Homo-oligomer: A and B are copies of this chain.
């Protein structure tokens, strides 16, 4: 995955309704869901939903196919995994044990906040 694609994929997911849509489709699995089912599940108007489906599709995160009058959307897990790989690759200068998930590796939280401006 190239940087441009990674940004597009992240942008596609960085929106309330779209994240809901995508996670619903991830939960649904490879068979996907009817557009109307998604609309009903999330309470989104059909034109708004089309707009968001388009963004997800352009980012390669979902596929569509027609079935009768309905459209069936499904998550593309491949893209999701590629994004994860893009984010986590090359970490820690070749010593990935420094940033692997799990216990015993809690990030130092003492520096989580920005040192506040003091004077005025």
Contact = CB atoms under 8 A, between A and B. Distances in A.
A54 B117 CA distance: 14
B80 A88 contact: yes
A30 interface: yes
Nearest to A87: B80
Contacts of A108: 30, 63
A19 to B, nearest CB: 6
A21 B6 CA distance: 14
A27 B98 CA distance: 11
27 contacts: A3-B20, A7-B14, A7-B15, A10-B11, A10-B19, A11-B11, A13-B87, A14-B14, A23-B90, A26-B88, A26-B91, A26-B92, A26-B99, A27-B92, A27-B93, A30-B98, A30-B108, A63-B109, A63-B111, A63-B112, A74-B111, A76-B112, A77-B100, A77-B107, A78-B105, A81-B101, A84-B87
Interface of A: 3, 6-7, 10-11, 13-16, 19-20, 22-23, 26-30, 54, 57, 60, 63-66, 74-81, 84, 87-88, 90-93, 95, 98-101, 105-112, 114-115
